[in-house]
């Protein structure tokens, strides 16, 4: 038996300071110390180490089965010898006896130190992971520490856990280098064979949402509400905002004096276009605004099909559609309506031809394309 009062006092202190119950350590210690005993005093022995916090003791207990004839002395004891210990023992009974070696104290101390440090690190990571999962939906500052072919690994501000920024969560065409200071959105905490791993993103729609909340106090305190956000990272984001005070221009508040507020967001998005759109219950106005920065001449809607036909000036058609259709595609996702865009000249020509034969309006786009995260967190859209 080893009397280790100081050791158990240390476990009590850990429980108080780190909020980690000492039972968490004791279970791991018993397992590790049992392995250490067998390694140093015989693998064949059927023994286990028991810790008793109430008596501050560490004991090695050997177990032997009572048999008629002993074949394995390390694990068996004869019935005759067993009855000398206790007359009521029968064949098949298990006898335990303390076999703590005098030299086991040093081995136990060394093993215990390693186990406690390891379990302490694991427990702190697990507690942190639980805390992050409970909080969720966070934007934090980070420093890029290393970059490989697919992932960037970042040091998260105030968090003693490595953040992983996968290639799919990096803004397209953004070049990250060790030492770069960036902001990241915490998506989730993943358990790996190496412990907890925080997965972060710069493409998630909530990355933009949190940037707006950070830079615009009126959004953070609820005076201005984000109604919807949609995004194609690296290309464009559209964000629909609404003010609780009808006398306050929500778009102007978000842009700030001479772009003071929006510019810091654009800097973080590395050139991604951002369109701030005033939300409206009037679907005609909302669809027209959603195609910003293009001007709109007229909007026709089909409520039954939830579709619309939008006419824009000839010189604004490409702007309304956007590169590879991104502007009208995001507008459709922002409003939830299918949007067909055409120019004034084509619309007039189609109207003239429709007298003899109806003609389908060209440049049709719909909003069915979904981002991977949109159904969970909502959508965000670009501001120019």
Give the per-residue pLDDT at 41: 79
Percent of the chain residues topping a pLDDT of 70:
86
The answer to whether the CB of 171 falls within 8 A of the CB of 232 is no
Question: For residue 116, how many other CB atoms are within 10 A of its CB?
Answer: 18
DSSP 351-364: HHHTTTS----S-E
Average pLDDT over residues 8-18: 83
Which of 263, 268, 272 minimizes the C-alpha distance to 323? 272
Give the per-residue pLDDT at 370: 41
- pTM for the model stands at 0.64
Give the per-residue pLDDT at 177: 94
Residue position matching structure tokens 């335990």: 96
Give the per-residue pLDDT at 359: 42
As a CATH number, domain 136-203 is 2.40.50.140
Beta pairing class for 338-343 and 307-312? parallel
Q: What is the pLDDT of residues 256-289, one digit of tens each?
A: 999 999 999 999 998 899 999 999 999 999 999 9
Q: Name the DSSP letter for residue 325.
A: G
Hey, what CATH topology would domain 225-243+266-377 get? GMP Synthetase; Chain A, domain 3 (3.30.300)
The answer to whether the CB of 341 falls within 8 A of the CB of 321 is yes
Which of 180 and 120 is assigned the larger pLDDT?
180
Question: For residue 26, how many other CB atoms are within 10 A of its CB?
Answer: 16
CATH 3.30.1480.10 at 2-124, yes or no: yes
* Ranges of CATH 3.30.1480.10 domains, the chain: 2-124
Q: What is the pLDDT of residues 331-374, one digit of tens each?
A: 999 999 999 999 999 988 888 877 555 444 443 444 444 444 44
* Ranges of CATH 2.40.50.140 domains, the chain: 136-203
* Ranges of CATH 3.30.300.20 domains, the chain: 225-243+266-377
């Amino acid at each position: 038996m080893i009397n280790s009062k100081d050791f158990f006092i240390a476990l009590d202190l850990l429980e108080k300071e780190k909020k980690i119950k000492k039972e968490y350590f004791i279970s791991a210690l018993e397992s590790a110390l049992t392995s250490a005993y067998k390694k140093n005093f015989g693998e064949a022995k059927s023994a286990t180490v028991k810790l008793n916090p109430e008596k501050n003791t560490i004991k090695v207990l050997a177990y032997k089965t009572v048999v008629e004839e002993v074949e394995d002395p390390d694990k068996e004891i004869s019935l005759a010898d067993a009855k000398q210990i206790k007359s009521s023992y029968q064949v098949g009974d298990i006898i335990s006896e303390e076999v703590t070696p005098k030299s086991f104290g040093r081995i136990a101390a060394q093993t215990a130190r390693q186990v406690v440090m390891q379990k302490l690190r694991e427990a702190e990571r697990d507690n942190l992971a639980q805390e992050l999962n409970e909080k969720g939906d966070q934007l934090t500052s980070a420093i890029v520490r290393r970059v490989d072919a697919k992932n960037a690994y970042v040091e998260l501000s105030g968090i003693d856990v490595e953040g992983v920024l996968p290639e799919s969560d990096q803004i397209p065409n953004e070049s990250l280098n060790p030492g770069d200071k960036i902001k990241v959105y915490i998506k989730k905490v993943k358990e790996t064979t190496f412990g907890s791993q925080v997965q972060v993103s710069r493409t998630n729609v909530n990355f933009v949402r949190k940037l707006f909340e950070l830079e615009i106090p009126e959004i953070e305190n609820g005076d201005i509400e984000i109604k919807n956000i949609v995004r194609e990272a690296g290309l464009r984001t559209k964000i629909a905002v609404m003010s609780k005070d009808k006398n306050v221009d929500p778009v102007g508040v978000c842009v700030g004096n001479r772009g003071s507020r929006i510019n810091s967001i654009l800097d973080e998005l590395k050139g991604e276009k951002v369109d701030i759109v005033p939300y409206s219950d009037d679907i005609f106005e909302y669809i027209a605004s959603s195609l910003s920065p293009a001007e709109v001449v007229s909007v026709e809607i089909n409520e039954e099909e939830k579709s619309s036909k939008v006419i824009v000036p000839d010189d604004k058609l490409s702007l309304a559609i956007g590169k590879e259709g991104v502007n009208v595609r995001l507008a459709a996702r922002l409003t939830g309506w299918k949007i067909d865009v055409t120019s004034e000249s084509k619309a007039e020509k189609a109207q003239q031809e429709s007298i003899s034969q109806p003609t389908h309006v060209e440049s049709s786009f719909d909003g069915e394309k979904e981002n991977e995260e949109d159904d969970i967190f909502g959508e965000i859209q670009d501001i120019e």
